[in-house]
Amino acid sequence: MTTTKAELQGVLIGLQAELEQTVVQLEAADELDDPGTGYTNHQADHATIVFDQTVNASTLNAMRTRLRQVGEALDRCAEGTYGICEECGNEIDIARLEAIPYTPLCLRCAEARDYRARV
Ligand SMILES: [Zn+2]
């Protein structure tokens, strides 16, 4: 059975709720870790804390980007352009949408873009 775009929209809505929760949690964790609060004075803990903050910050950034992509995909659902590649205008493979429901690009354009990014 093939997944329909309506079902994928449902997946996106669920994903958006999950991501919003994760971002809120990471932001809260960020505040707790703030070295300005004098939370810890132990030298041995320092590397761990810096490491945690780095992970948190990069995870938080990744989650925010993902959340934006999901939001944009939901906008496209509302406009009726969901599942259409924003680069070439062709339909994106439903199998690709099942794997990455928030992708704005078909596989070919995504590969082309990655390729250009590396050059
Ligand atoms: Zn394309």
Measured CA to CA, the distance from residue 92 to residue 115 in angstroms comes to 19
CA of 110 to the centre of ligand 1 (A): 7
CA of 16 to the centre of ligand 1 (A): 24
Q: Taking the model in full, what pTM does it have?
A: 0.77
CA of 64 to the centre of ligand 1 (A): 24
User: Confidence band (pLDDT; 50, 70, 90) for 43?
Assistant: low
CA of 40 to the centre of ligand 1 (A): 51
Q: Is 102 exposed, middle or buried (CB count within 10 Å of its CB: 0-12, 13-18, 19+)? A: buried
CA of 96 to the centre of ligand 1 (A): 12
pLDDT exceeds 60 at position 44: no
CA of 81 to the centre of ligand 1 (A): 13
User: Confidence band (pLDDT; 50, 70, 90) for 112?
Assistant: very high
pLDDT tens string 45-91 = 666 666 677 778 889 999 999 999 999 999 999 999 999 999 999 99
Question: In order of start, what are the domains of the chain with their CATH numbers?
Answer: 5-118 (1.20.120.910)
Task: Give the distance from CA 99 to its chain's centroid.
Answer: 13
Measured CA to CA, the distance from residue 114 to residue 6 in angstroms comes to 29
CA of 4 to the centre of ligand 1 (A): 20
Pick the more confident residue, 48 or 35.
48
